[in-house]
Amino acid sequence: MQRTLTADLAFQSGLEIVSFQYYDCLLFQRGETLKMFLPRSIPMLGGTAQDRLVTGDLLAIFEKDLERLRPPSKRFRFADLVTSTPIANFPSIITSSLIVEGVVDRDFFRQIHDLLSALPDRKSDWIAQFGEDFFARSRIDRCIDAIRYLNP
């Protein structure tokens, strides 16, 4: 179901898909830091069985940390990630995340793009923004730092 949702969102947005061992992501920016969105759908509280919202996580991974699974697989895995940030921390996205007849509002993609674009592009930028010890911190602490940075 997650891979189907990602494929549908990629078709709607024109974005590339990066396929991992257990899930697919929408690629918003390629560079030293890959900036992606890992979508999931959830039922809308108080809605019908068909009313669903897109939720998920913003992911930042250094491209050098990607490792292709054994051929013939076109999927990847990674040893570490820079940060993973749930979009539930950005309530303004919720109104555009409703799936209506299989389609998500274009503003949803713009908001995800804006959040990911605000994150640093290179490892040196991450260190400059968050401090020398950023990569020594736990994943939870890096997530909290990213949320604070994106929610000024």
The whole domain housing 56 covers 2-150
Give kind and range of the element (H or E) at residue 143: helix 139-150
Cα distance between residue 93 and residue 145, in whole Å: 19
Per-residue pLDDT of the chain (152 residues; tens, 9 = 90+): 899 999 999 999 999 999 999 999 999 999 999 999 999 999 888 777 778 999 999 999 999 999 999 888 899 999 899 999 999 999 999 889 999 889 999 999 999 999 999 999 999 999 999 999 999 999 999 999 999 999 97
Q: Are 62 and 82 in contact (CB under 8 A)?
A: yes
Give the pTM: 0.94
Beta bridge partners of residue 30, listed in sequence order: none
Closest CA to 26 of 41, 14, 11, 16: 16
CB neighbours of residue 144 within 10 Å: 15
Total of domains in the chain: 1
98: region left, alpha or beta (phi > 0 left; psi from -120 to 50 alpha): beta
Share in percent of the chain as helix, strand, coil (round to 5): 40, 30, 30
